[in-house]
Structure 1
């Protein structure tokens, strides 16, 4: 069955991928006459001021200064829901953002605002991870044979990369003064590898990428099986094998272009920082066990272990590649399965590393601009970090409180503009 919910995206049935140059996007941001540079300068607007086209969807998000904005998109042929927590920087300072391929309210982040300093803008694209945050070649179809639809009930061919890498930065520059360069992008599970892909494809927009429990060798026999299986089992999309990147055995497919290991060397030339986090697939606490049992019994325990073990193995292979070629990829290893309790343990360190990388980028771009550094969180007792080693840590001695599994339907808090027929994409969190 297709998960109930609505996808804030659309595209005609044509498989043409519309791409505009990032330089054109920057030019458009300048042409609107808002006076913002590509780097982005903070305007004299308080973080509590609603921007045009944005609204608070509930009291909780109002308290966190999280605005839900509808972003008109040519590539998606609809308006896409985006959540933004503006920074509190003083007017005249530069503005950077951390983009999240998912929500700002997943249980592993306690709302995320608690993890990141208010000097950074937080931007979430809730629906993107549900179709791999990627550009598709044809219309996704659900497990029951029904095509995915938009809020308006139209079928569509997702073009998330074009939207996130080209259109969204222009909107954010116009409304929030966020720079069109020097930002970060982060993804969890199926959105993890794609966060790295987006950074490599749009190095002028993203200087930092964070992948949490992602997978990187997609252009392989294992990838041809794992990617469609994940889309089907986690998000109800049946035709991921040939609809997203094309049949991998036929000409015209883009599996190679979306394989992180095939292009990770570009990060060094781009001056980017890539951060990869993974567990080892072994259940490390009673809280983890209880979380998976509550979600789906012993079968879910097995699935959670296999998914994280696959991520761990993929990360180790990427780690070896990075070590051999001296690539700017940092690794965070810990025990744990594919669960929120595992992700909670490395949340703080991932956030600290992301912010540190953004500061280094900003200070390198403008040496006169000095920002107070946020202290980096102490590593978890069961966590090891490395850019060259692949040792597996022992299980942590501390446990986190049980939290909902990533497979529980999220409440994204996205306002629905119009009633519509059933649409795929409103459950899950990018796992």
Structure 2
């Protein structure tokens, strides 16, 4: 029987429709950038180092949770390989679980013996794969030991209910979320000696980091394209940085302002000096006439600014009666006082530049920086003669894309972590005598 031309056309149209629908369905399927193929743990002189290997680069977010203590690491556009190698606990990490809060997000959950803040997070390339590496402070001498129940008593891990993520505040569920499975046989865990325990036994004071949220009160700072105010963003980032610092053994944070009020510029670094802070970091959000300007920056005091400030300091009787670098200037003649002030300022300037370079390196790992090296300016808040001081321009609030990121709590957490990583790296290498960091890290050569 010969098929009519009309039937042939209808079959042809039907086939085209089937192919079109198939292509649409295929294109609608999520395309993942890669897989998590392995998690490794190793002990270091200062704690536990975690390495998460991915087949492709991926954006990630840390979520710190308490009661019980957990660290959640989410990777966008990534899955966990069915053959992924996941180790048992070590150090402050008691167990590791995996899951997926959504189809395009891979989740790694680290159950911890106590709350600690991850430090020195960075991507490394090894054998063509990307490896996220970060440190969790903890004493390597007494690792956590979790005793598992017999295999027949091990339950199947099921969804334990929604959790609220720091990044969005919205509930998310997964096959393994950040809540330990219920109705499981309790684990027996050996006591864990942590960095905090080591510091307390050895004595010493915590490092005090003064954090200054730029602007405040009637001083709104720069405004973003959507109407956001710099003063609110700087306070949000400053509070997140303070929380991360307070979760780091051997460190404590001091906020020059913890709510929306104005502080004169000179009083900001004076408050840090009055508290005997080990360093001062001022948080800002940059702005420019062109909305295309972008990137983070780190500033230290210019040498010209330092010289002019030294002259004012010596000429001011109130300042001359103050302690600078641990030495009282009032009973010294002008020449000796000038030398002492110059020595103090030179040491402070070097420390500021080294800390600033470490912080800028952390910001480069997070994203684009406005310039490739630290910058210098005569900012009033950087004029302390004996407290290392830096000013961080987190991003350009005048750039619509960067403004959106600055308003994102998850990105604020990442900014704070980048700054903390730089501070930690500097003081780990050069811990001030008499501090808990000196007790923990010794001479800094570990």
- Higher RCO, Cα 8 Å, sep 6+: 1
Higher percent of residues as strand: 2
| TM-score, structure 2 as length reference | 0.30
Structure with higher Rg: it is 2
Q: TM-score by structure 1 length?
A: 0.30
